[in-house]
Chains A and B, each alone.
Chain A
Amino acid sequence: MDAIDRAIVNHLQGGFPICHRPYAAVAGELGIGESELLQRLERMLERNQLSRFGPMYDAARMGGGLTLCAMALPEKEFDRVAEMVNAYPEVAHNYAREHWLNMWFVLATETPQRIGEVIADIERETGYPVYNMPKKEEFFVGLRFQL
């Protein structure tokens, strides 16, 4: 990444406009051409320096259910249970973490009621309790990277 790429990333972590020629508008602010901005965004996406470019949606505001869950699993059971849990399409991400609660996953469901059902299914299938930790309040989501 060169200085222009960094300026693009720093400038575009939010606030991309909704207008007919948004890339041209942003390119103007950065002092580069529209096609150069498009090419650079494409290249940063190809190189995986950006994981995506576009609108970031808040799943909880789409009328569905969303929660963070944790489980405490014995080491020898871990991979087997991870496979069971990951098989649920409602499990969006799942991380192993170094703690007695060693598996942490996000559940996203079509309706809020489905959360409880999926948790009950996972507990029944795996035989281990699920700690449900839905957000009570959100203070910030995003990351202000200064590159």
Chain B
Amino acid sequence: MKPQAAVDTARIPDELDRRIIRATQAGLPLVPEPYRQIGEQLGIGTEEVMQRMRRMLESGVIRRIGAVPNHYTLGFRANGMSVWDVPDRLVRKYGKQIGALEFVSHAYHRPRHLPRWRYNLFAMVHGRDRKEVEQKVAIIAGLLGGDARDHRILFSSRILKKSGLRLPGGG
């Protein structure tokens, strides 16, 4: 649960944090003492690196530290962005339930653009093929029951750009 309004501006990374982010956003060094290596690269101590990374983890700047499996290479070749029209007062309740499903990688409450775009709840669903994505979306539909007034699955047909999120600047 991270309502945007709750972002604590005092926790916005400072310049040294940003240098750590730049040094690690492509990955953590695969050496026995990775934090020490980052510190050496930036000219600061290992303790300082670890302390700042712990703080960023606590404040949510770092979501988590770990391995990101490549869905596609591991056989999860289909992804469908499922979009749902649910009553606004129920978005949070259902968002949490859907976010807890293991095949959902992202779940968000987003604004409608009426009259053309009525959907306010988004959930990215992964599967081995489109059929499996459809089966999983059916599980979500079952969960929402009559509270889902409408839904769609937007399958991706092409990746047009994938540069990832990167802090600009050196390093």
State the A residues within 8 Å of B (CB): 8-9, 12-16, 18-24, 34, 38, 41-42, 44-45, 47-63, 66, 68, 70, 82, 85-86, 89, 91-99, 101, 103-106, 108, 110, 131-147
Contact = CB atoms under 8 A, between A and B. Distances in A.
Contacts, number: 245
Given A8-B67, A108-B165, A143-B69, A96 B12 contact: no
Contacts of A103: 160
B157 A97 contact: yes
Given A55-B53, A97-B156, A104-B154, A137 B108 contact: yes
Contact of A143 (B35, B54, B105, B168): B105
Contacts of B99: 139-140
Contacts of A140: 98-100, 104-107
Given A34-B32, A56-B62, A110-B168, A50 B161 contact: no
Contacts of A42: 30
Given A57-B62, A134-B110, A137-B92, 11 more contacts: A9-B69, A49-B73, A49-B74, A53-B67, A54-B25, A62-B13, A91-B163, A92-B166, A138-B109, A140-B107, A147-B69
Interface string B139-171: 000000000000010111111111111111000
A24 B71 contact: no
B113 interface: yes
Contact of A133 (B9, B12, B24, B110): B110
B21 A57 contact: yes
B65 interface: yes
A44 B70 CA distance: 10
Contacts of B7: 60-61
Contacts of B102: 143-146
Chain B contact residues: over half helix, strand or loop, or mixed?
A: mixed
A57 B26 CA distance: 11
Given A18-B65, A42-B30, A138-B107, A99 B165 contact: no
Given A62-B13, A96-B160, A137-B92, A52 B68 contact: yes
29 contacts: A13-B67, A13-B69, A15-B64, A15-B65, A23-B34, A47-B73, A51-B68, A52-B67, A57-B61, A61-B7, A61-B11, A66-B165, A68-B108, A70-B117, A93-B164, A98-B154, A104-B81, A104-B154, A108-B165, A132-B111, A134-B111, A136-B108, A137-B91, A138-B108, A139-B109, A141-B63, A141-B105, A141-B106, A143-B102
